[in-house]
Amino acid sequence: PMMFDAALEEFLLNELAEDEEFYWIELLNYKNKESDTIYQNWIINEVLPSINNNNNNDDAELIYQGQLKDLSYKDIIIIRYPSGRAFYDNLWKSPSFEEKIQYRYDGLIF
């Protein structure tokens, strides 16, 4: 079953401030890093630029991507999104989301 279901969509719509920035933090462990890299590249090369082209200088930004000293996780990714609406419209509702999220499922240990 999809982890990104109606409950998460409800959270995105009702709990994230539509017009306030927020930070998306991911602590990652991999079963297939190459697969997850396809998803990460989509975020970095398509989703973030899409937000940046549509938000009047209120840009999304990859703040940090790298390894942790804590051996519980392999990598950490921190992204600043300008608003919940920008995240929802450009990632969650992207026509590519259903295809790309499969790479994340194939790549990560949940």
Q: How far apart are CA 65 and CA 26, in angstroms?
A: 9
pLDDT 10s per residue in the chain (110 long)?
Answer: 355 567 778 887 888 877 888 899 999 999 999 999 999 999 999 999 988 887 665 789 999 999 988 788 999 999 999 988 888 888 888 899 989 999 998 999 97
pTM for this predicted structure: 0.82
